[in-house]
Amino acid sequence: MTADNRVTVSRAEDILAFIPHALGLWPKESLVAITLRGQTIGATLRVDLPSARSERVLAVYSRTIGEYLEADRDADGVLLAIFSDEGWDDGGVVRGNVSLLSSLEPVLAGCGLALRDAWFIGSEYWRSAFCADVECCPIPGRPVDQILDSRINAEMVFRGSSVRESPQLLGPGDEPAVDPGFMRAEDGKLEEMLQGWRSGRAFEEVLDVWTRVLDSGLPEEFDAEAAAFLRASLRVPAWRDAVVVLAAAGKAVARGGAEAFCTFYRDGDEGEPLVIPHGLRPASRVPLKPEGTRRPAETGNVQGSSGSGESSRCADRDINALRYGDVLLGLHPEQPDWARMTSLDEVLAMLSRLGVGEARAAALTIRGWIHWCQGRGSFADELFSQANAEQPGYRLAELLAEVLRRGTVCGWAKNPSSAWRKFGGAAA
């Protein structure tokens, strides 16, 4: 990180303007917590406000917030912002939320986090939670325009950041095209792939194609043959999952997981090569990043191996299987490849607009997972819902949506050193 990437905040308006840009949306009925490491802003957490305010509900809610925030082990303070449109006409916004703040403060202190300040923000007004001076904090509050006109908001917009009015990522421009000819071509590619999808050679070729796509920069568009190939590859579940792991953790982990789950045959038959569209062949893309050249069939000599060698291979398979699942939960590797994951999100957004059906559901689901990894649960929920609407009962979307509904936070998002940063820098 360089000083050029820093965003300097000096007033409450600056901090409150930074929040929507960090989240990508203007929060509604939400609690936003920002950890502080001295004078530097750390992690940003957004959760829905509790629907009930009984002592028991607030105690559970506060403990959950504390558990999320103490993952930032370098933090020593926290800022709280309560976004709500309730109670501004009669001052009830303060009365209605003081019990929440009172419940949170001792829990935060128990986590070693001093509550530095707190604010209430509505659609038209905002105010400090602790200010009783009517000259400084008039009733019902200060105009939200002070936040929108702040220096930080202008700087974020200048950097190309935008804030959505609602937690909706998809718009009219994301509606899928309906081209029967293209869909027939995609189905033909899938039929071709299914004839040898368990071939180790085909698996390697698919990973190589996706690696080139993710590392070569996003084209303005793929030609029809290349797009049909990429979409069809996402309709093979084992390949789809390997693409996810490839983007976050690299080819070696993707290959190791496939071996652990016996994705392809290991009888020495490499099968026929895939027909790679011209636009996806190596000559038209940048060279692959070196990640090792071990082939699936070179994992060891199954016949005639020693007992210790067999035990070692079993242990390796167990580790690789665990790592595969850990990638999906953001637990491995310690630092994901955010550049590749961002590239994958952009590629999938493009592919999802080219047609309907299972390939679109797969693209939406993986995009939802990427946004969940980034700590953007509202966007993830929308994408999972759209995937299920596109392909009712789409299993991966259902599983990941359940993870989100349980309040599980991606492992990378919990750790400041591995968490995604929208701006690539920090705020101080």
DSSP 89: S
The pLDDT-based confidence of 302 (bands split at 50, 70, 90) is very low
Q: What is the pLDDT of residue 421?
A: 79
> Which position has the token pair 């390796």?
316
* pLDDT of residue 389 exceeding 90: yes
**Average pLDDT score over the chain:** 85
User: Residue 131 — very low, low, confident or very high, per pLDDT cuts 50/70/90?
Assistant: confident
Give the pairing type, strands 114-121 and 142-143.
unpaired
pLDDT above 60: residue 146? yes
Check whether 27 has a pLDDT greater than 50: yes
Each residue of 86-111: pLDDT tens digit? 989 877 888 889 999 999 999 999 99
Q: Could you read off the pLDDT of 237-249 as tens digits, one per residue? A: 999 999 999 999 9
- Within the chain, which residue ranges are assigned CATH 3.40.140.10? 3-158
pLDDT > 70? residue 317: no
What distance in Å separates the CA atoms of residue 265 and residue 298, rounded to the nearest whole number?
A: 12
Closest CA to 276 of 347, 353, 218, 223: 223
- The answer to whether the Cα torsion of 194, 199, 202, 204 is positive or negative is positive
DSSP states of 141-162: -EETHHHHTSHHHHHHHHTT--
Model pLDDT, residue 3: 36
- Topology of domain 3-158, per CATH? Cytidine Deaminase; domain 2 (3.40.140)
Q: Quick check: 273 and 266 in contact, CB under 8 A?
A: no
Could you give the angle at which helices 358-373 and 224-233 cross, rounded to 10 degrees?
A: 70
What's the whole-number mean pLDDT along residues 124-143?
Answer: 88
Entry pTM: 0.76
Distance CA 364, CA 387 (A): 5
Least confident of 174-188, 297-311, 357-371, 400-414: 297-311
